[in-house]
């Protein structure tokens, strides 16, 4: 059986499949796979290991002939029309759990580096601008006695909350599905109004697209810290930029962008924003574990069994 991988991933999962008799072809080119190559693959391969940047929309999926399983190398699967895939008889899988710690950890890193101005300070020091200790140099925001608002309380949101346990913070959260966790559940408006720092941990869906616009930023406290490691399009980026310019948002830490991989030039110029290249799950351990999980999902479905982590089965 033939499997196509749209980008190089850690070898461990590829070898796992090859050792079990699968023929695996990995696309060597850099950059996001064009739609015509995806369409070709959907005609020729039994299984596809796809990336979160691959466009598996209805327009592309309608050309599928041979593919029975799409194993997305990510926990998020907003790049795939999963309902349409189901109609076409294609099982879609993702990689939950194995990247939870890594992604929560990155949100934590962004939270501290944005609010304590760590990246800004590093730039300043490298540029030779440090002329000695200053009482007013790089004053940031503290977590001491802060209210942290978590939006989305799935695995990653909960891990992020757990990681905060050593800090003197009050955690409040808003979630559509979980209301009985050992933190204070609040409605969305209250979260916006009461948080000193807001971190997003929800998937991108039709409902969550542009959940954060000027209207929501206006309701936040002045000088709030805003962290997004979820999906860029949950936030209207032009409104985020306005809120940053006005100082409504004092600092932001971003790993994801509305028009990824495009990032607005304005955002790139702002000193009070830490911007990362979507590396939430980028630890050796998480990426190796993801590689094994995508491989095992492919194996399970193509051998006629149940997928391990299906999203539309």
Catalytic, 65? Answer no
Least spacing, CB of residue 263 vs ligand DGY, in Å: 16
Least spacing, CB of residue 76 vs ligand DGY, in Å: 3
Site for ligand DGY in 281-300 (CB under 6 A): 281
Name the residue among 205, 199, 260, 264 with its Cα closest to residue 238. 264
Place of tokens 């200053």: 134
Rounded Cα distance, 114 and 220, in Å: 17
Segment lying near ligand DGY (by CB under 6 A), choices 1-9, 125-133, 135-143, 277-285: 277-285
Residue closer to ligand DGY, measured from CB, 99 or 153: 99
92 near ligand DGY, judged by CB under 6 A: no
Residue closer to ligand DGY, measured from CB, 77 or 217: 77
Segment lying near ligand DGY (by CB under 6 A), choices 82-90, 208-216, 273-281, 303-311: 273-281
98 near ligand DGY, judged by CB under 6 A: no
Rounded Cα distance, 152 and 191, in Å: 12
Angle (nearest 5°) at CA 35 between 93 and 255 = 60
What would the DSSP string read from start to end of 74-143?
SS--TTB-HHHHHHTT-EEE---STTHHHHHHHHHHHHHHHHTTHHHHHHHHHTT---S--TTTT-----
Q: Which two tokens stand for residue 286?
A: 């998480």
Site for ligand DGY in 27-86 (CB under 6 A): 52, 74-76
Catalytic residue among 68, 116, 117, 278: 278
Least spacing, CB of residue 213 vs ligand DGY, in Å: 22
Question: What backbone torsions phi and psi does residue 290 show, to the nearest 5 degrees?
Answer: -65, -40
Q: Please confirm whether the linkage preceding 261 is cis (ω < 30° from 0).
A: yes
Least spacing, CB of residue 32 vs ligand DGY, in Å: 15
**Applying CB under 6 A, which residues contact ligand DGY?**
52, 74-76, 99, 103, 278, 280-281
């Amino acid at each position: 059986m033939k499997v196509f991988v749209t980008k190089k991933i850690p070898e461990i999962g590829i070898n796992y499949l090859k050792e079990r008799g699968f023929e695996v072809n990995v696309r060597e080119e850099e950059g996001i796979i064009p739609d015509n190559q995806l369409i070709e693959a959907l005609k020729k391969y039994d299984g596809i290991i796809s990336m979160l940047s691959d466009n598996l929309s209805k327009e592309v999926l309608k050309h599928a002939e041979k593919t029975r399983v799409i194993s997305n190398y990510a926990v998020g699967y907003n790049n795939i029309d999963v309902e349409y895939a189901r109609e076409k008889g294609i099982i879609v899988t993702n990689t939950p759990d194995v990247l939870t710690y890594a992604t929560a950890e990155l949100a934590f890193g962004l939270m501290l580096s944005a609010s304590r101005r760590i990246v800004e300070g590093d730039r300043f020091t490298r540029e030779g601008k440090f002329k000695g200790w200053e009482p007013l140099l790089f004053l940031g925001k503290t977590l001491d006695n802060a209210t942290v608002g978590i939006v989305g309380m799935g695995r990653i949101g909960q891990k992020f909350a757990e990681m905060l346990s050593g800090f003197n913070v009050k955690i409040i959260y808003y979630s559509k599905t979980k209301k009985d966790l050992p933190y204070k559940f609040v409605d969305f408006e209250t979260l916006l109004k009461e948080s000193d720092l807001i971190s997003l941990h929800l998937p991108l869906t039709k409902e969550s697209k542009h959940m954060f616009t000027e209207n929501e930023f206006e309701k936040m406290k002045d000088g709030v810290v805003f962290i997004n490691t979820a999906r860029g399009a949950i936030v209207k980026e032009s409104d985020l930029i306005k809120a940053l310019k006005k100082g409504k948002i004092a600092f932001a830490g971003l790993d994801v962008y509305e028009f990824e991989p495009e990032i607005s030039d304005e955002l790139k110029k702002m000193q009070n924003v830490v911007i990362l290249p979507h590396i939430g799950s980028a630890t050796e351990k998480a990426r190796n574990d993801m590689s094994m999980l995508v491989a095992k999902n492919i194996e399970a479905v193509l051998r006629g069994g149940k997928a391990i982590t299906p999203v539309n089965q």
